[in-house]
Structure 1
Amino acid sequence: MAGNTQVVVIGGGYAGVMAANRLTGRDDVTVTLVNPRPELVHRVRLHQLVGGTDDAVVAFQDVLAGGVRLVVDTATRIDAAGRGVTLASGGTLAYDYLIYAAGSVSAAPSVPGAAEFAYPAATLEEARRLRTALGAVPATAAVTVVGAGPAGIETAAELAEEGRRVTLVCGGVLGPYLHTRGRRSVAKWLARLGVTVVDGPDTTVTAVSRDAVRLADGREVPGEVTVWTAGFGVPDLAARSGLSVDAAGRLLTDETLTSVDDPRVLAAGDSAAPSGVPLRMSCLNATPLGARAADTVLSRLAGEEPDHLHQGLYAQCVSVGRGAGIYQFANRSDVAVWLHIGDGLGARIKELVCEGIPKHLSGEARKPGSYRLHRTPGGIAKRRQSLRAHRDEAPAAADRTA
C-alpha cells in the first residue's frame, strides 16, 4: 500500500493498547486509539478498587507509545464500506485498517430485580459506584456476592479482609474453571477470611430485592448490598454496525483475526470470536490477541501471509485476599489440571501478574515488536482440534433443531 496507512484501534484496554503500540514499529503507519476514558483501566485490580486497596487505573502516558494519537471519545458506529468510525462527539475517523478491541462489560442480568438492586463491578464506573454504595452502609452490614468465578471470589475476599460479613452465592460450584484440588485451596482461604460460601445445584439466584437474594431452592440470603459478578457480555457496537457477530455479540473473524465481512477490519481481546471458537475472556488472552491482530496488519503491509492464531499457555490466576491466591495450571485445551500453586506463593504470583501487564505494554511502547508471548511454541494442534470439533458439532446441532 502506497503512502501513509491509517489504523484506528477501538478500545484502550490490554488488547487495544498492545495492538496500537506494536503498530508504531512502522514509520509509515499512523495509529489512532479511541477510548472513552483518559486512562487505562487495570481490570485485574478492579476488585481491589472495590476493597479500597487500589485505584485500578494506569496513566496512558506510562503504557502508550508516544506515536499513538489518543482520542478520548466513544465509537458509536463503524462504517465498513466507507472505512470510517463515527464518534459520540459527532466527529468521524477514517481508516485503512480498523482493530476492534472493544473489550467486555457486565452481562445484562435477566434475573428479576438484579438490574434495580444489584451492583455489577466489571467496569471502572461500576466498581466506583459499588465502592460508594459500600461506604454508605455500616461496616457490619451483610454483603452478598453473586457469582463464583474469579471476579466473585476476588471481590468476596477483598471485602472480607476489610472486615465485612460476606456471603458468596455460587449458583453452582465454587470456581467453575478450577480443578477440584485448586477449588479446595480457594475454599480453605475463603473460610479463613470468614466468607460464607453457598454452593450446590440449587443455588442459582432467581430474584433480587433491596435486602436479599432468593435462590432456586427457595432460600433467601439477606444482604444490605448485593454484588453481581455472574458473567460478562460484550458491547454491541459491531452488531449495530452490521458486522457479523457470534451469539454473544463478538466480532466473527478467521484465524488471522480478520473479520469474515471485511479484510480491513480485525478484532482482538474479549470482543473477538475467531472462527466462531473464541478464547476465554481474560487478560491472559487479551494481550496476545492484541499483538496477533497488529501482526496481521503488519504482515499485510509487508506483502506477507499473516500467521494464524495459536495459544500455547493457559492458566487462571486468582487472588483470595492480599495474603493468598492460586495459580491454576491448565492444558492446551484450556482445561484445569491437578497442578496449582496456592497460598502465599499464589498471592505473590498473582501480584507479579498484575504488575507485569503494564510492563508488557510499556515494553512494547518503548520497543515495538519486542512482545513475543503470542508466539509461544505449541498450541497449534489443539487449536486445530478445537476447530474440527466445532465444525463437526455445527451440522449435528442443525440436525437436532431441524
Structure 2
Amino acid sequence: PHIQTPPRLRHQLLPHRRRSQMAHAVSSLTSSTLFIRQQFQSRKLFQRPSRGCWTNSRQFSSSAAARRGIRVVRSDSTGGGYGGASEISESESKASGYVWPDGNKRPRVCILGGGFGGLYTALRLESLDWPEGKKPQVVLVDQCERFAFKPLLYELLSGEVDEWEIAPRFSDLLSNTAVQFFKDRVQSLHPSDHLGMAGDTVSRSAGVVHLESGLLIEYDWLVLALGAETKLDVVPGAVEYALPFSTLRDAHRVNEKLIHLERKSFGNDSPIRVAIVGCGYSGVELAATISERLKDRGVVQAINVDKSILPNAPPGNRESAQKVLSSRNVQLLLGYFVRCIKKDDTTESHNNERYILELQPAERGVESKVIEVDLVLWTVGSKPLLAELEQSDKPIYLPLNGRGQAETDETLRVKGSISTGRFCGLESLGCNKWPTSTAV
C-alpha cells in the first residue's frame, strides 16, 4: 500500500489564489519552449516523494567551469539560429560589441534579468506569430547561470529536491530557441539620442548596454526585469552578520552554514539557535522548514514588529501557520524590532561564532530583550536593482516611485523621454497576436 505524504507546509500557508498563480505560471512556462526538454516539470515541483535526507553533496559541488575561473558566458551567434552559450575565461574577455545575427534588419530586444518576468518575456516573444522579417532578435542577460524557482528554494534546505529541479541552467532552457543568453552583470546603460534632439546625428539604435565583462550590446528595445534584493543595511550589523534568503546563492550559503553548525553540535547537548527576522510568508516558511530540519537539535526564534505573524494574510491562513509553528516549537517574539546585531567576541576562542541581537519593543511599557544565536536570517525589506542610465558625461536617472521602482505608463514603458522601459511599445514591433492582458 502507498503511504500518503502529509501536505507540505507551503500548501497550508499560501492562500489558494497565490498557489493558483504559481501553478498557472509553471503551467504557462511548461507550454512554452522553457520546458521542451522536460527537465523542469510542474508535476515534479509540487508532487515529490520525501527523500528522508537533509543534504545532497551534488547541490554544492563546484563545477568544472568554476574551477577554471570562468566568469563570462558568451552566446554563439553563428550556426543554425538556435540559442546557446559558450564559456570563455575572464582573461579572454575583451571589450567588444555583440554582433546580432541579422544586424539591425530585425528588431533587437535586450532583456536584463532572468527571473520570471525576463525569462517569460523572452520565451513569449519567441513563441508569437510575427510578419516576415519582423520577428525580434532577443538577448537575455543575467548574473547567474541558472533560473531559480524562488517559491521552492526552501526545499533545498529540507533536501527534498535537487538543484536542477528548481534551478535549471539557462543554456539548457533556451537550447531549442533563438534566444541568446549572457551570464554577466550590467555596468551601465547608455540610451541614444535616437530622435536627434541633441545634435545632427541620429543614432540607429535606442541605446547600448555596457556589461562588466566589457561586452557592449546595442538594442532597439530594452526590457528592465532586474528584480530586487534583500535590503540589509537597515540596522547596524545586519550586513556583516545576517544572511538573506531570496536567491539560489543565498540558499546555498544558509544550507552550508546549517551543515557546519550540525557537524559542530554533533555529540553535545548545546542546541543550534537560529533567529529569523520577519514573519511574512518568507519568514514563516523559513522558520517552519528549519525547525523541521533541526528538530530537537535546534531552537528557532522568529522576530516580527507586528503583534501577529502574516499580518496581511487572511485569518484562516494565519491560524494554520500559527498551528504549524507551534507544533514545531518555533518561539515567536512578536512586537519587537531588531535594534542592532553584534558579534559575541567571547566565543572566538572556541571556534564558535555567535551573535547578539538587541530587540526593541514596538510599544511603550514593554521591556527590551537580548538574545544570543548561532545564525541570523533576514527576510525583511527589499531594494530594486535598477542600473543608472548614462548619456555622454551627463547621468540620466530612471524616474522612480517611492519604493524605488521605475515609473511606467499603462503600456509598461518607462516614463520620460528616453526610449527604454520594462517593456516598451510592443505593438510597435509588429506583432500579429498579443494578448490583451499579459503578465510579464
Under TM normalisation by the shorter chain, which class is it? 0.5 to 0.7
* Pairing partner for 1:92 from 202, 205, 216: 216
CA separation of 1:224/1:175 partners in 2, compared to 1, >3 Å: closer, same or farther? same
Q: Which has the larger radius of gyration?
A: 2
Is the counterpart of residue 146 in structure 1 residue 277 in structure 2? yes
SS state of the match for residue 209, structure 1? strand
Is 1:23–1:298's contact at 8 Å kept on the other side of the alignment? Answer: no
In 2, distance between residues paired with 1:49 and 1:151? 14
* Pairing partner for 2:114 from 2, 5, 12: 12
SS state of the match for residue 216, structure 1? strand
- Judging by fraction of residues, say which structure has more helix: 1
| TM-score, scaled to structure 1 | 0.64
Is 1:238–1:245's contact at 8 Å kept on the other side of the alignment? Answer: no
CA separation of 1:158/1:239 partners in 2, compared to 1, >3 Å: closer, same or farther? farther
Deviations 1:51-110 (CA, angstroms, capped at 9, x unpaired): 443334123255446110001111111112261100000111000000000011111332
Q: Which stretches in structure 2 are left out of the alignment for 5+ residues?
A: 1-103, 193-205, 266-270, 344-354, 362-367, 391-395
Q: What residue identity is the alignment partner of 1:21?
A: L
* Pairing partner for 2:357 from 213, 219, 223: 213
Is 1:239–1:249's contact at 8 Å kept on the other side of the alignment? Answer: no
Is the counterpart of residue 374 in structure 1 residue 434 in structure 2? no
Q: What residue identity is the alignment partner of 1:166?
A: V
In 2, distance between residues paired with 1:220 and 1:303? 60
In 2, distance between residues paired with 1:230 and 1:115? 13
The Cα shift of 1:160 comes to 0.9
* Pairing partner for 1:79 from 190, 203, 208: 190
Query: How many residue pairs end up in the alignment?
Result: 281
In 2, distance between residues paired with 1:157 and 1:198? 15
CA separation of 1:227/1:44 partners in 2, compared to 1, >3 Å: closer, same or farther? same
* Pairing partner for 1:57 from 167, 173, 180: 167
Is 2:189–2:389's contact at 8 Å kept on the other side of the alignment? Answer: no
Deviations 1:125-155 (CA, angstroms, capped at 9, x unpaired): 2221122122211363111111111111111
In 2, distance between residues paired with 1:223 and 1:58? 34
CA separation of 1:239/1:232 partners in 2, compared to 1, >3 Å: closer, same or farther? farther
Is the counterpart of residue 68 in structure 1 residue 201 in structure 2? no
Is 1:50–1:155's contact at 8 Å kept on the other side of the alignment? Answer: no
In 2, distance between residues paired with 1:59 and 1:168? 34
Is the counterpart of residue 254 in structure 1 residue 361 in structure 2? no
In 1, distance between residues paired with 2:311 and 2:428? 40
In 2, distance between residues paired with 1:213 and 1:69? 46
In 1, distance between residues paired with 2:169 and 2:378? 28
The Cα shift of 1:122 comes to 1.6
* Pairing partner for 2:154 from 18, 41, 47: 47
Task: Give the aligned CA root-mean-square deviation in angstroms.
Answer: 2.5
The Cα shift of 1:49 comes to 2.5
CA separation of 1:92/1:21 partners in 2, compared to 1, >3 Å: closer, same or farther? same
In structure 2, the partner of 1:169 is: 303
CA separation of 1:166/1:125 partners in 2, compared to 1, >3 Å: closer, same or farther? same
> What does residue range 2-401 of structure 1 map to in structure 2 within 5 Å?
3-24=105-126, 25=128, 26=130, 28-54=135-161, 55=163, 56-61=166-171, 63-64=173-174, 66-81=177-192, 83-138=207-262, 140-163=271-294, 164-172=298-306, 173-200=308-335, 203-210=336-343, 211-217=355-361, 218-238=368-388, 242-262=397-417, 264-267=419-422, 293=423, 297-302=425-430, 374=438
| TM-score, scaled to structure 2 | 0.59
In 2, distance between residues paired with 1:20 and 1:248? 26
In 1, distance between residues paired with 2:327 and 2:238? 29
The Cα shift of 1:263 comes to 6.0
The Cα shift of 1:115 comes to 1.3
SS state of the match for residue 168, structure 2? strand
Identity among equivalent pairs (%): 25
Is 1:3–1:28's contact at 8 Å kept on the other side of the alignment? Answer: no
Q: Which stretches in structure 1 are left out of the alignment for 5+ residues?
A: 268-292, 305-367, 376-402
Is 1:12–1:34's contact at 8 Å kept on the other side of the alignment? Answer: yes
The Cα shift of 1:185 comes to 1.3
